[in-house]
């Protein structure tokens, strides 16, 4: 059984797949407490569902792209088997993870989007840098940037781990904290080869809307 906070169909608002229709499976619980977290409602609330029930619900939407998110989806060990089954059923599976828990057992067919938590999240110490060696070329490492210090920290991590040679690199703002244009100007000034991204759904719906 897995504790599931919500399952819904919307557009992918983040990552290089932004704009594509996608089914979201949001699992309950998180081992982190990021200063800016927009999904605190998934820390405890949810209903128990079997893997089969989740697969059936996902199937109802008739959409081949599925994202596992949370909370932190890797807190529940059964998420590994769920991802495998989704891949076996022919879905293109994305995993959104905070980067504090091991990813080496995630099915290799899954596209992993892994945050490296910046200093202003207050969760920097939780980053599991051993994960980096398991990132594949199609995966993405993501920095959610709240201020100039976060930005410079992110540049250092890219250099230190040669992240841009290993996988995609995403730079996003902490919504409501750093102006998108400010981050964008820094990226352009430094001629960075990173993908700037915003949480598209927060500009389409009211930012606090759930289930989108
Ligand atoms: C809610 S988390 C769930 C998955 C996982 N716990 C993680 O942190 O990656 C999904 C994504 O939303 C980002 N996020 C959460 N709150 C945000 C905010 N206020 N502004 C921008 N991105 C935010 C996280 O950094 C993460 O990349
Ligand atoms: N539309 C939409 N796209 C998303 N991509 C990643 C999300 C997440 O919360 O992990 C998310 C989300 O909450 N909504
Ligand atoms: S790891 Fe993800 S879900 Fe957990 S507190 Fe941070 S942003 Fe929120
Ligand atoms: Mg979200």
List the domain boundaries for the chain.
2-204
CA of 119 to the centre of ligand 3 (A): 14
Q: Tell me what ipTM this predicted complex has.
A: 0.99
Locate the ligand 1 atom nearest the alpha carbon of residue 72 and give its number. Answer: 6
Do 211 and 13 contact (CB within 8 A), yes or no? no
Report residue 44's pLDDT band, with 50, 70 and 90 as the boundaries.
very high
pLDDT tens track for 64-83: 999 999 999 999 999 999 99
CA of 190 to the centre of ligand 4 (A): 28
What fold characterizes domain 2-204?
TIM Barrel (3.20.20)
pLDDT tens track for 138-191: 999 999 999 999 999 999 999 999 999 999 999 999 999 999 999 999 999 999
Q: What is the mean pLDDT of the chain?
A: 98
Give the pLDDT of residue 128: 98
Pairing verdict, β 65-69 and 92-97 = parallel
Give the pLDDT of residue 70: 98
CA of 3 to the centre of ligand 1 (A): 19
């Amino acid at each position: 059984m897995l504790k599931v906070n919500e399952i819904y169909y919307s557009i992918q608002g983040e990552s290089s797949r932004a704009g594509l229709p996608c089914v979201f499976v949001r699992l309950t619980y998180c081992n982190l407490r990021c200063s800016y977290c927009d999904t605190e409602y998934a820390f405890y609330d949810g209903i128990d569902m079997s893997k089969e029930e989740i697969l059936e619900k996902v199937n109802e939407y008739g959409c081949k792209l599925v994202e596992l998110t949370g909370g932190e989806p890797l807190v529940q060990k059964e998420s590994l088997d769920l991802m495998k089954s989704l891949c076996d059923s022919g879905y293109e599976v994305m995993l959104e993870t905070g980067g504090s828990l091991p990813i080496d057992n995630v099915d290799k067919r899954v596209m992993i989007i892994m945050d490296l938590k910046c200093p202003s999240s207050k969760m920097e110490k939780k980053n599991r840098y051993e994960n980096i060696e398991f990132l594949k070329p199609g995966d993405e490492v993501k920095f959610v940037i709240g201020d100039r210090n976060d930005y410079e920290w992110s540049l250092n991590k890219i250099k230190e781990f040669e992240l841009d040679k290993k996988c995609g690199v995403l730079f996003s703002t902490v919504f409501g904290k750093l102006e998108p244009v400010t981050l964008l100007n820094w990226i352009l000034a430094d001629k960075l080869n990173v993908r700037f991204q915003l949480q598209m759904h927060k500009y389409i719906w009211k930012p606090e809307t759930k289930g989108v």
